[in-house]
Structure 1
Amino acid sequence: MTIRAVVRGVGHYLPERVVPNSEFEATIDTSDEWIRSRSGIERRHFVAEGQTTSDIATRAAEAALAQAGMAADDIDAIILATSTADLTFPSAATMVQARLGMTKGYAFDVQAVCAGFVFALANANALILSGQARRVLVIGAETFSRLMDWTDRGTCVLFGDGAGALILEGQEGTGETSDRGILATDLNSDGRLRDILYVDGGTSTGTTGYLRMQGKEVFRHAVEKLAETAHTALDKIGLSGADVDWIVPHQANIRIIEGTAKRMQVPMDRVVVTVQDHGNTSAASIPLALSVGVARGQIKPGDLVVTEAIGGGLAWGSVVLRW
């Protein structure tokens, strides 16, 4: 008997405040054209004063539960991918657990920056395959607007806030690639590259800090590593880019998305793109894009989906699943 971690529901939440590119023109040396041409971003959402990562994560989780027709106590575990937890501890996941009214099971955070949701999905899959959970709520949620240096035009215009959630359930499969659910995963990291993308705060400084990024270096590593990890995961199950119905990539930069799709030999009309509306929402970007892709009618049951992401660490990885 083969157990597969099958998607039962998906949902997302975006804060009410929409910030168009033009809003930055009054405070920094930039323009709508400059931002669009370099990133593909047109607008993003920012949280309101007092609104936290666990707040928006809860909203996304509620949407996923509603789509799945489940209650909070139907869930065995919550994994929340975030780099912007409300507090140093406890985990934002336990705060979501409490707000959902989930009275059993367990909850914890995963921190792999923009690759966080891929790492969380892989961990949720492992919990299900090992029998430690039957249903896992996997969330990506970020409030990156709180980590921005608003004088750094190279970074502050790129990021946004949001949350997405997905529910996985263990179900019997045939062991073939036609099974629904997660079919393969691939995770990687290289701590030697930490200085090209990091936040200059934490317990070592006693401050929250600001995001710092060497954009050209991140771009160079991203296109190569994202295509490589996707191919590695597909190779594990004997499939290739030609078998893929949808790539749902980390939504960081349209040029990275296009470069990765080209290397995978997958046309852009089979790539879910939301970066223009959300900006880079870090660990939230893939579940947001999955939820939007389903809502648009792009992703349908039976479709082969590849998700891939890269973030600070550097950390990167991919998940291949059949919807």
Structure 2
Amino acid sequence: MSATINTVIIGTGSYIPENIISGNEFLNSTFFENGSRLEKENSEIIHKFSEITEIVERRYVCPDQLSNQIGAKAAEKAIQNAGIDKETLDYIIFCHNFGDIPLNSNRIDVLPSLASKVKQQLGISNTDCVAYDIIFGCPGWVQGSIQADYYIKSGDAKRVLVIGAETLSRIIDPHDRDSMIFSDGAGAVIYEGVNQTEKKGILAHKTETHALHHGGLLTMGKGSNPEETGGNAYLKMNGRKLYEFAVIQVPQVIKKAIDKAGLTIEDVNIVFVHQANGKMDTAIMKRLFKLYNLDTVPENLVPMTISWLGNSSVATVPTLLDLVLKGQVKGYNVKEGDVAVFASVGAGMHINAFVYRF
């Protein structure tokens, strides 16, 4: 068997903000829905929210931190973990949705690109290291990884750094109870092209965009408080419809990726799925197994961090991977030969997945 180029992970890193935001932080909030104040006690709203999403805590960045800065922190850790010279990176792909948002500004800054800002912070002088951003909703990091695979397998690149970072605490509506789902964080992964006869690394991938009928499930919109003026726009989602969409569509995309890899769900040892909503992810996995006529999802297949990290959008999957690889998610690890699925869903509506052999 002749050698082929495999896209393999050689380093990971993450940055988890220090500020822990529990449900109690929202006890004095004023929540509105459809222009009317919610009559339920906040303690009841918060409890019900935690039951549905499984989120107990989330993380927010410090007042002086920006997305590019926490992305750079995760990248530094990934470079150190890989043990490589940073000047050997061919691409830096920074995946985000809102760029840099200074505290209390609600204004998005993407000039220059966050990837360029990271390259500058890392002190990389190699002009052949190309730095650019991807805006692809929550599935951005997965899509960045797919692009890295294309670059590497084409022979155009040897090493690609893919970062996912977001500071959603700066763009959420404090009067919208759905805002309790969102958080801040950053994760980074370095991929390398390796010539091997054995098929490893990224085996197959699949991406879909369901914009025609579902593009409005996650959008920017005005605040929930009818008395608010100033024209600020906030992250808004149709939670119920998004849940229904994800539970039906995401399993089908994952199966298509597994099919392309010539495998079946029983070959999969671990699933790194976007940490969007605990119960939604559970429902997605149950539906996926039903596509294979299986009624039971094995235990210790899907590591979860949403209960204590919340939903940090593009950062959830690379952060989860980094924590598992470094033994920081109890009951989960990977060994050589294990097959993993990486999958996400988000604004667009985009869905993507790739299959990976360690």
Smaller-chain TM-score range? Answer: over 0.9
Aligned to 1:157, the other structure's residue is in SS state: helix
2:169 aligned with 1:185: no
- Stretches of structure 2 that go unaligned for 5 or more consecutive residues are 31-40, 101-108, 223-229, 290-296
2:162, 2:189 within 8 Å by CA — same for their partners in 1?
A: yes
Cα distance in 1 between the residues matched to 2:204 and 2:64: 39
Cα distance in 2 between the residues matched to 1:313 and 1:184: 22
Cα distance in 2 between the residues matched to 1:300 and 1:63: 21
Cα distance in 1 between the residues matched to 2:356 and 2:256: 14
The aligned residue for residue 199 of structure 1 is: 220
Structure 1 residue 117 displacement after superposition: 0.9
Query: Per-residue displacement from partner, 1:100-157 (whole Å, max 9, x unpaired)?
Result: 111121111111111111111101111111112100001100001111000011x210
The aligned residue for residue 116 of structure 1 is: 140
Q: 1:75 to 1:277 in 2, by over 3 A?
A: same
Letter in 1 for 2:217: I
The aligned residue for residue 116 of structure 2 is: 94
Structure whose alpha-carbon radius of gyration is higher: 2
- Over aligned residues, Cα RMSD in angstroms? 1.6
Q: 1:268 to 1:224 in 2, by over 3 A?
A: farther
2:166 aligned with 1:169: no
Structure 1 residue 173 displacement after superposition: 2.8
2:7, 2:149 within 8 Å by CA — same for their partners in 1?
A: yes
1:261, 1:268 within 8 Å by CA — same for their partners in 2?
A: no
Aligned residues: 315
Aligned to 2:254, the other structure's residue is in SS state: helix
Structure 1 residue 161 displacement after superposition: 0.2
Query: Per-residue displacement from partner, 1:267-318 (whole Å, max 9, x unpaired)?
Result: 2421011111111110001001101111225133322110111001101100
Alignment of 1:26-105 (within 5 A): 26-28=28-30, 30-31=42-43, 32-86=46-100, 87-104=109-126, 105=129
Cα distance in 2 between the residues matched to 1:112 and 1:161: 17
The aligned residue for residue 10 of structure 2 is: 8
Displaced runs of 4 or more, over 6 A? none
2:261, 2:355 within 8 Å by CA — same for their partners in 1?
A: no
Q: 1:208 to 1:233 in 2, by over 3 A?
A: farther
Aligned to 2:27, the other structure's residue is in SS state: helix
Q: 1:208 to 1:14 in 2, by over 3 A?
A: farther
- Stretches of structure 1 that go unaligned for 5 or more consecutive residues are none
Structure 1 residue 207 displacement after superposition: 6.6
The aligned residue for residue 278 of structure 1 is: 309
Correspondence for 1:227 among 236, 243, 251: 251
